[in-house]
Homo-oligomer: A and B are copies of this chain.
Amino acid sequence: MLNRTASIITILFCCTAANAEEGMWTLDNFPKAAVERQYGASITDAWLDHVRLATTRLEGGCTGSFASENGLVLTNHHCVRTCLSQHSTAEQDLDALGFYAKKADQEQRCEAEQVSVLIGTRDITAEVLAASDEKEQSEANKARKATLTRLEKDCEQQAETQGQKVYCESVNLYNGGQYFLYRYKRYEDVRLVFAPEVSVAAFGGDPDNFNFPRWSLDMAFLRVYEHGRPAHTPEYLPWRAEGADKGELVLVAGHPGSTERLLTVAQLEHLRDNVLPNWLLRYSELRGRMIQLATQGEENHRIVQAPLQAIENVLKVRRNQQLVLMSDAFMAAKKKQETALRDADGAPWKDIETALASFDTFYLRYLFIEQTAGLQSSLFNYARALVRVAMEREKPDSQRLRAYVEPALPGMRQRIVAARPIYPVLEQQRLSFSLDKMRELLGPDDPFVKQVLGNRSPDELATELVEGTQLADPKYRELHWVGGIKAIETSEDPMIQLALSIDAEGRALHRRYENEVEAVIRRAEEQIAKRRFETEGTDTYPDASFTLRLSYGSVKGWIERGKPVKPFTTTQRLFERATGSDPFRLPDSWLAVRGKLNMETRFNQSLTTDITGGNSGSPVIDRHGNLAGLIFDGNIHSIGGDYWYDAKLNRSVAVHPQVMLEALEKVYHARRLLKEITLAEQPESITRAE
């Protein structure tokens, strides 16, 4: 599954000269000439503009695309699970049952979801560098952040004076090589239209995840609303029912979360030696705890499924990332690349080495305390956000932590006050687990551990906090949001009191991280980016950053240990693999119509397009701008794509339009929806693009 939780680090890095089909390109720098040469296809600016406006970012960490002019958004089932769980109860589990709004007024609001469309970009590199260039590292770091905040704010205010409401976000491309300001139209009223049963959406479950051949109907429809009515979205992608042919050019638009293809060797080693092993062991244990919890009654089984599958997905990603990083051949290649780029001095690389060596000495405390890995629970997250936002709002924007500047607050408020189910049993388990790991890794005699636990065991404290807090109530959260610092400081809620009492220690670690690590690395990265542009030119793509990109490639299988893997699967083998036991159990809806289905229907397909986590829900587009598939995963080799693109083995995995249309018709009888999709006419822009 390729939603953005699969991404791994915040320290991004940059790009190298691209191989054929390699690259998640920004739209302003898309290699049209290479595509023209290789496929004879002309990708015009009009085509790119159309695709940009037809592609949406799901702020939860996915991509979508408009499927009609009435705000209909196609995305993955696994991208709407939060919304499904919001509308589920012990009696009616929409994850298991699926959902279809037969009538327009049955579409269900996804309270926490936001959908954005990129409407414009502006290069702000000169302004950012001018503000920070002459300063010492940590001063420069502050100035850089303050400038980005100011430009974002100006951008939103300027639009407002023109009667427009936009969301502005600065973007670091080529790792300090370029800074951009991206302007988004944002839809905050998002509703659920259709989702199949999870058993067919995620058929094969964790064993099949990141594998291919594959049979998953990982699709869903949302709809964006404005002023209580479906939004008008004239730029959308019409469906090509038969899909693309083998070998045909396809393009994937989307918001890939992050790649780390040009991290320095020191940064890769930090991942390999600290970040990944630590994370993998902790989450393997949490996975075990959750699997066992799921055996304790039907309701526990239900509530565990979505978070468990999310964890299993990231476990598979990071395990395979670690395999790449542990490969001596891979590391040797990275070292060679780096040596070639380094000048005699090598100062910026050495600076990064020094910064990370310093980070290593407080990494675990930073992780458990400031990044709250020791206090994992949705309830504590609310408490922490409410405490921080209240404190930060007392300051002018220029002095706030970047996450809490004014432009970021509306979205944050929506996420915090949105109703969503909180399951005490899950909260307690996760909090107890994370306190336990904190004690294990910082040691029982660490002062912070002693401060938090006192004489209580992790289990006792977790129970006390989860039972004592009222933060599960959205109104209670809203009250604290509105009440600000006074409400926080006088709150008798134990979770808020805890968040408040440990805030100073967290901030101290945050400052230390900013000054000793981040400031040094940002400056060094800018210097490396400059050197890379000088050496390699600008005909390259930046690392992914959850911003709009376009990849291209073709429908193609690969050779796995000497055996060819074909690019299409069909319905036939889905039924053959359905043992009746999870995760190979088909829903009754499918078993009931088995005789009516065409066994030759194409189900899933593999593509050579270069994608990563965040591309979940991305449209597969043919040269004419038609929808020819729905990205939902990559093969196992695609995980190595975080560090390099392997043209021989790296494949995207998409749902085929044939099975989507057949399932909507024969299994789900979704006539209203089918009519809306298939009766859509070719929009004008497409005609222009041809």
Contact between chains at B455 and A281 (CB < 8 Å):
no
With A281-B284, A285-B288 given, is the CB distance from A207 to B440 under 8 Å? yes
**Interface readout for A404-441 with B: 1 if CB under 8 Å, 0 if not?**
00000000000000000000000001000100000110
With A281-B319, A292-B429, A296-B296 given, is the CB distance from A581 to B457 under 8 Å? yes
Contact between chains at A443 and B207 (CB < 8 Å):
yes
Let me know if A287 is at the binding interface, CB within 8 A: yes
Kindly state the separation between the CA atoms of A11 and B224 in the bound complex, as whole angstroms.
Answer: 62
Q: Return chain B residues, CB-CB under 8 Å to A326.
A: 272-273, 277, 326
Of all chain B residues, the one with the shortest Cβ separation from A211 is: B443
**What are 12 A-B contacts with C-beta separation under 8 Å?**
A273-B323, A280-B280, A284-B285, A285-B285, A286-B288, A288-B289, A289-B292, A292-B292, A292-B293, A444-B584, A455-B579, A455-B581
Let me know if A460 is at the binding interface, CB within 8 A: yes
Kindly state the separation between the CA atoms of A319 and B282 in the bound complex, as whole angstroms.
Answer: 12
Kindly state the separation between the CA atoms of A180 and B42 in the bound complex, as whole angstroms.
Answer: 78
Q: Which of B207, B269, B454 contacts A439 (CB 8 A)?
A: B207
Q: Return chain B residues, CB-CB under 8 Å to A290.
A: 288, 292
| Distance in Å: Cβ of A216 to nearest Cβ of chain B | 14
Kindly state the separation between the CA atoms of A319 and B437 in the bound complex, as whole angstroms.
Answer: 14
**A206-B440, A453-B579, A455-B580 given. 4 additional CB < 8 A pairs?**
A277-B322, A277-B326, A280-B284, A457-B582
Q: Which 7 A-B pairs have the closest CB atoms?
A: A288-B288, A284-B284, A292-B292, A457-B581, A285-B288, A288-B289, A455-B579
| Distance in Å: Cβ of A675 to nearest Cβ of chain B | 38
**Interface readout for A98-118 with B: 1 if CB under 8 Å, 0 if not?**
000000000000000000000
Q: Which of A434-488 contact B (CB under 8 A)?
A: 439-440, 443-444, 453-457, 459-460
| Distance in Å: Cβ of A682 to nearest Cβ of chain B | 41
Kindly state the separation between the CA atoms of A342 and B453 in the bound complex, as whole angstroms.
Answer: 54
Of all chain B residues, the one with the shortest Cβ separation from A445 is: B577
Let me know if A204 is at the binding interface, CB within 8 A: yes
- A residues adjacent to B (C-beta < 8 A): 204, 206-208, 211, 269, 272-273, 277, 280-282, 284-293, 295-296, 315, 319, 322-323, 326, 328, 429, 433, 439-440, 443-444, 453-457, 459-460, 577, 579-582, 584
Copy number of this protein in the oligomer?
A: 2
Q: Return chain B residues, CB-CB under 8 Å to A443.
A: 207, 211
Q: Return chain B residues, CB-CB under 8 Å to A293.
A: 292
| Distance in Å: Cβ of A203 to nearest Cβ of chain B | 11
Q: Which of B204, B287, B328 contacts A288 (CB 8 A)?
A: B287
With A281-B280, A460-B581, A581-B460 given, is the CB distance from A444 to B288 under 8 Å? no
Contact between chains at A444 and B204 (CB < 8 Å):
yes
Kindly state the separation between the CA atoms of A455 and B457 in the bound complex, as whole angstroms.
Answer: 42
| Distance in Å: Cβ of A297 to nearest Cβ of chain B | 10
Q: Which of B291, B439, B440, B453 contacts A289 (CB 8 A)?
A: B291
Of all chain B residues, the one with the shortest Cβ separation from A272 is: B326
Of all chain B residues, the one with the shortest Cβ separation from A331 is: B328
| Distance in Å: Cβ of A334 to nearest Cβ of chain B | 13
Contact between chains at A444 and B207 (CB < 8 Å):
yes
Kindly state the separation between the CA atoms of A292 and B295 in the bound complex, as whole angstroms.
Answer: 10
Q: Return chain B residues, CB-CB under 8 Å to A460.
A: 581
Of listed A207, A286, A292, A579, residue having the most chain B CB within 10 A: A292
Q: Return chain B residues, CB-CB under 8 Å to A323.
A: 273
Q: Return chain B residues, CB-CB under 8 Å to A280.
A: 280-281, 284
| Distance in Å: Cβ of A239 to nearest Cβ of chain B | 32
Kindly state the separation between the CA atoms of A74 and B440 in the bound complex, as whole angstroms.
Answer: 30
Of listed A285, A444, A581, residue having the most chain B CB within 10 A: A285
Kindly state the separation between the CA atoms of A429 and B292 in the bound complex, as whole angstroms.
Answer: 9
Of listed A211, A457, A582, residue having the most chain B CB within 10 A: A457
Kindly state the separation between the CA atoms of A457 and B579 in the bound complex, as whole angstroms.
Answer: 9
| Distance in Å: Cβ of A581 to nearest Cβ of chain B | 4
| Distance in Å: Cβ of A453 to nearest Cβ of chain B | 8
| Distance in Å: Cβ of A401 to nearest Cβ of chain B | 31
Contact between chains at B277 and A288 (CB < 8 Å):
no
Q: Return chain B residues, CB-CB under 8 Å to A322.
A: 277
Of listed A282, A291, A429, A439, residue having the most chain B CB within 10 A: A291
Of all chain B residues, the one with the shortest Cβ separation from A281 is: B284
Q: Return chain B residues, CB-CB under 8 Å to A456.
A: 579, 581
Kindly state the separation between the CA atoms of A440 and B579 in the bound complex, as whole angstroms.
Answer: 16
Of all chain B residues, the one with the shortest Cβ separation from A585 is: B457
Of all chain B residues, the one with the shortest Cβ separation from A428 is: B295
Kindly state the separation between the CA atoms of A429 and B207 in the bound complex, as whole angstroms.
Answer: 19
Q: Return chain B residues, CB-CB under 8 Å to A273.
A: 323, 326
| Distance in Å: Cβ of A454 to nearest Cβ of chain B | 8
Q: Return chain B residues, CB-CB under 8 Å to A296.
A: 296
Contact between chains at B288 and A284 (CB < 8 Å):
yes
Q: Return chain B residues, CB-CB under 8 Å to A292.
A: 288-290, 292-293, 429
| Distance in Å: Cβ of A510 to nearest Cβ of chain B | 23
Kindly state the separation between the CA atoms of A262 and B456 in the bound complex, as whole angstroms.
Answer: 45
Kindly state the separation between the CA atoms of A457 and B457 in the bound complex, as whole angstroms.
Answer: 36
Q: Return chain B residues, CB-CB under 8 Å to A577.
A: 444
Kindly state the separation between the CA atoms of A286 and B284 in the bound complex, as whole angstroms.
Answer: 8
Q: Return chain B residues, CB-CB under 8 Å to A429.
A: 292
| Distance in Å: Cβ of A613 to nearest Cβ of chain B | 20
Q: Return chain B residues, CB-CB under 8 Å to A289.
A: 288-289, 291-292
Of all chain B residues, the one with the shortest Cβ separation from A285 is: B288
